[in-house]
Amino acid sequence: MPHRTTAPAPGPVTAEDVDHAVRLCTDLLRSAADDAAWERPAGTLTWDCRETVEHLADDLFAYAAQLGLRTGPPDREVPFRYGARRPGGPASTVFADPKAGREGLVQVVESCGALLVAMVRTTPPDVRGHHVFGASDPEGFAAMGVVETLVHTHDVAEGLGLEWEPPAELCARVLTRLFPDVPAGHGPWPALLWATGRGELPGLPRRTAWRWYGEPGA
């Protein structure tokens, strides 16, 4: 595991951080004026804005589900059935009913976010859940949920033409928890965008592949 070079932010990533990130996301999504814009590409992704929001909801749901097992982390995700709306779209368990419109889509994110918040609050800290990058604890899954929320809201905001910049302290906490390889000396939000292949930092090449490190510390 790379040596940590970012300065530690005060406190762990918590359920309240997940709740805060999801509320900021849903507030922004509700502010979008043009319903037709949901068919636009989400930032640099190949998915449209609606698909990206559904993918975010699915991430939040899936992380809550991984923490629901008490038999130890399996070698795969809990085997819900996954599918995609269209070829090339994101595979998901969670889909919003298109007839419910934008508000229904936002409610799906809220509900899945609340599931993760509840699981992070109530799961014992020694429980481990499966993730492809390594088994993680409730705090790790909270941090993953925050990162997914912040960066996919960024993707959708670009597609919808909305301004989006989350709180620096929230970005700093998840950087410290999940991205020990990000160099110090940069603003937390630009650093998080760089860490997830969405931005540039002075003197560093843009990432074309990335991962986080969710395993609990010793």
Q: What is the mean pLDDT of the chain?
A: 90
Token pair for residue 6? 């970012």
Q: Flag whether 48 is in a domain.
A: yes
The more confident residue out of 162 and 97 is 162
Q: Flag whether 158 is in a domain.
A: yes
What is the residue range of 132's domain? 15-195
- In which region does residue 80 sit, left (phi positive, over 0), alpha (psi from -120 to 50) or beta (all else)? beta
Mean pLDDT of the region 86-95: 86
Q: Flag whether 213 is in a domain.
A: no
pTM of structure:
0.92
The more confident residue out of 62 and 37 is 62
Mean pLDDT of the region 137-162: 97
Mean pLDDT of the region 73-94: 83
Q: Flag whether 120 is in a domain.
A: yes
Q: How many domains does the chain have?
A: 1
Residue 4, pLDDT score: 39
Q: Flag whether 78 is in a domain.
A: yes
**In the predicted model, is pLDDT for residue 67 greater than 90?**
yes
pLDDT, tens digit, for every residue of 31-54?
987 677 888 999 999 999 999 999
Q: Flag whether 214 is in a domain.
A: no
CATH of residue 40: 1.20.120.450
Mean pLDDT of the region 163-187: 95
Q: Flag whether 187 is in a domain.
A: yes
Per-residue confidence band for 98, with pLDDT thresholds at 50, 70 and 90: confident
Q: Flag whether 63 is in a domain.
A: yes
